[in-house]
Chain A
Amino acid sequence: MFEPEVQDLLQELLVKSEAGEVRWQDSKVAGMADTVRQDYLVVLPNISINIFHGSDGIRLNFIDSAGDISLGLRPETDEEVALLEKIFSSADRIVSGEKARKTLDDVKKALSQKGPVGELERRNSPF
């Protein structure tokens, strides 16, 4: 069971995250996206919050400034699983939304320029 203080903190994190005010990163930024596909991080000056689906279910770790897991959370009740899943979904939406926005921005930028869009076919290209 999560401590009441931890429960409150997670609720606060969820509210802020759902409001789009938490800068979640795909853990690819932190390095290991190829091994754990669903893994999100938020890096603060002294701590990182890492939420991911491990082999034994959803988990949330707080990694301190020394790189140690200062608090590792494994949900035990259905409510705790639901809370972590909500945070995870919110992180997923933020990261996916950010990627989609970047893609759209790139396309918009290309379309807004004068003249034809896209590279000419390279006749001598080995591909």
Chain B
Amino acid sequence: MLKTIWDWFQINSAGLGVVLSLLGFVVVFLQLRKTRRAAEASKVAANRTLYAISQIDTASDLASLKERLKGLQSSIRASRFEVAYNEAQSIREGFHQLRNRKGFESEEGQVELQTMVTFLRKLQDHLERKTQDAEYQLPVRFISANLSDHATKISGWIEQRRFELGGKSDV
């Protein structure tokens, strides 16, 4: 029996070799395709994770800026003008850093940031004037209302990011 199989194998070995090679090739091809799909899926997942991290990071920075705007508002109301000046400077830098973040690359986003930075710059000019001239009247209510408007706008941006992340962020 074994001899019969052996004889048959010797006669047909060339054809069988070809079939086995083809089979091997198909197996390798399928395996490679599976691996490539897995690599692509993991790349997509990695990109999604990076995007989520960047959005959470931005939302966290925005939340911090919003709190600092409230701090600035309190300092002005409490007549701590030098402190307010430094806070405005730091917030200004914070807004400037947002320029390259996702969601702010558009012209509209850049104009929004520029409007806030300009407001803070002009506020600083007036705070500086106030520290030099005690008689100078700062329109505190007006400034406060503007700071509140900016804080509200920032809240909108934070919400937008939370929504994009499926509302799963705790920021």
Q: Do the two chains bind?
A: yes
Which A residues lie at the B interface, using CB under 8 A?
27, 29-35, 41, 43-48, 50, 63, 65-69
Q: Assuming the A-B contacts A30-B119, A43-B118, A48-B118, are A66 and B92 also in contact, with contact meaning beta carbons closer than 8 angstroms in the complex?
A: yes
Report if B107 contacts A (CB, 8 A): yes
Q: Which of B113-149 contact A (CB under 8 A)?
A: 113-115, 117-124, 126, 137-139, 142-143, 146
Q: Assuming the A-B contacts A35-B138, A65-B96, are A30 and B122 also in contact, with contact meaning beta carbons closer than 8 angstroms in the complex?
A: yes
Report if B68 contacts A (CB, 8 A): no
Residues of B within 8 A of A44 (CB): 111, 114
- Smallest CB-CB A-B distances: 3 pairs: A45-B110, A34-B139, A67-B121
Closest chain A residue, CB of each to CB of B117: A67
Report if B99 contacts A (CB, 8 A): yes
Residues of B within 8 A of A46 (CB): 110, 114
Report if B93 contacts A (CB, 8 A): yes
Of the A-B pairs whose beta carbons lie under 8 Å apart in the complex, a sample of 7, sorted by A's number, is A32-B126, A32-B143, A35-B137, A48-B117, A65-B113, A66-B117, A67-B95
User: Main secondary structure on chain B at its contact with chain A?
Assistant: helix
Is the beta-carbon distance between A67 and B118 smaller than 8 angstroms? yes
Residues of B within 8 A of A32 (CB): 119, 122-123, 126, 139, 142-143
Question: In the bound complex, what is the Cα–Cα distance between A65 and B139 (angstroms)?
Answer: 25
